[in-house]
Amino acid sequence: MAEITIIGAGVAGLFAAHELSRRGARVRVLDRNGPPGPHGCSWWAGGMLAPDCEGATAEPVVTRLGREAAAAWARVTTVTHRGTLVVALHRDRSELDRFARRTEGAHRLDAEGIRALEPDLDHRDGLHFPDEAHLDPRSALADLLADLDRRDVGVERAEATPEDIAGTVIDARGMAALGLRGVRGEMVVIRSPEIALTRPVRLLHPRHPLYVVPRGDGRLMLGATQLESASCGPIHVRSLLELLSAAYALDPRLAEAELVETGADLRPAYPDNIPRVTRKGRILRLNGLFRHGFLLAPALARQAADLLLNDTKGELVHEDRG
């Protein structure tokens, strides 16, 4: 039976542990901060499993592999299958037309069709991507930990590098690894007494695009900025204003919402924004999930497991011969 040590208990490391252990490998997980929490960028994710929408700006491989995500996550956590609704202000209808041309799988909706899906929204037209889904990232991480616990895999609080450990090692440390750039993302959680949503809603805007993800109990997650930055501090005033202004544009009633939480972190990314499984000897590096952590972690984990257990190379696998 294979024995593998994983360094990093973010979404990449934990899903790799899940995939390997369910396929019979013996797995150990180390993280200098212990189990997932506010110290990791996975904690601040939106949780949208939206491969078709991401196709508007991402490479085709993101859409193709992202279509695995909902079924893979459903093995361990609750996944809500209600699709994604995309809308635009009347003055920005050209943005909606452009988004439709760049994506597949959408149904065009008029005002009546939008109200049938989300009675609290009043927009003239939009796009519905019915095959997409979403989850609560923090619940999903907790459920991953519970799944691993049932397989006798825990998260050990330990400072380690791949070179410190004998045997096969997976390095999933995110920004602690080398060769990555940081892309800062910021989010806000509000509680709205007047507007209930049942699926993610994206507002297209030429300067301040917004997504809104329902989190239950009247809470809505607003995200997300995308800034090329190595700064990992609290949310910036400008970003907060942009997110809240875009939410107000989506529906003015959100001005009455309660501000519950703000957060920010750095997304680790390669220059092409596509994640990689990089093998160098006995060490595999799983990284570069960019803004697609929950969407692409299952595919990244599957290809890592295929490489380690079957010596099968998927399209995300790279060999480091340096």
Q: Which residues of the chain form CATH 3.50.50.60? A: 3-47+135-179+271-319
69-94 in b/e form (b: 16+ CB < 10 A) is bbebbeebbebbebbbbbbbbeebee
Q: Which residues of the chain form CATH 3.30.9.10? A: 84-130+181-268
How does DSSP classify residue 33?
A: T
Note down pLDDT in tens along the chain; length 322 residues. 578 999 999 999 999 999 999 999 999 999 999 999 999 999 999 999 999 999 999 999 999 999 999 999 999 999 999 999 999 998 888 999 999 999 999 999 999 999 999 999 999 999 999 999 999 999 999 999 999 999 999 999 999 999 999 999 999 998 877 678 999 999 999 999 889 999 999 999 888 889 999 999 999 999 977 888 777 888 999 999 999 999 999 999 999 999 999 999 999 999 999 999 999 999 999 999 999 999 999 999 999 999 999 999 999 999 987 7
- Distance between CA atoms of 18 and 27, rounded to whole angstroms? 9
Residue bearing tokens 């960028």: 41
pLDDT of 229: 78
pLDDT of 176: 76
Closest CA to 204 of 125, 290, 120: 125
Give the rounded distance of the alpha carbon of 177 from its chain centre: 19
pLDDT of 201: 98
pLDDT of 1: 56
Closest CA to 9 of 31, 32, 26: 31
Neighbours of 98 (CB within 10 A): 15
pLDDT of 70: 98
3-47+135-179+271-319: CATH number: 3.50.50.60
Residue type, 157: R
Element (H, E) at 66: helix 60-66
- Could you tell me the two tokens for 222? 């607003």
- Distance between CA atoms of 31 and 2, rounded to whole angstroms? 21
- Distance between CA atoms of 272 and 75, rounded to whole angstroms? 30
Check: CATH 3.10.20.30 for 84-130+181-268? no
The alpha carbon dihedral of 171, 175, 178, 181 has a sign of positive
Helices (H), 5-163: 11-22, 51-54, 60-66, 69-74, 93-102, 111-117, 137-150
Cα distances (angstroms) measured from residue 299 to each of 65, 183, 271: 6, 21, 20
Closest CA to 77 of 13, 30, 133, 136: 136
Question: What angle (nearest 5°) sits at the alpha carbon of residue 144, between those of residues 139 and 148?
Answer: 150
pLDDT of 227: 82
- Distance between CA atoms of 315 and 53, rounded to whole angstroms? 21
pTM: 0.95
pLDDT of 206: 81
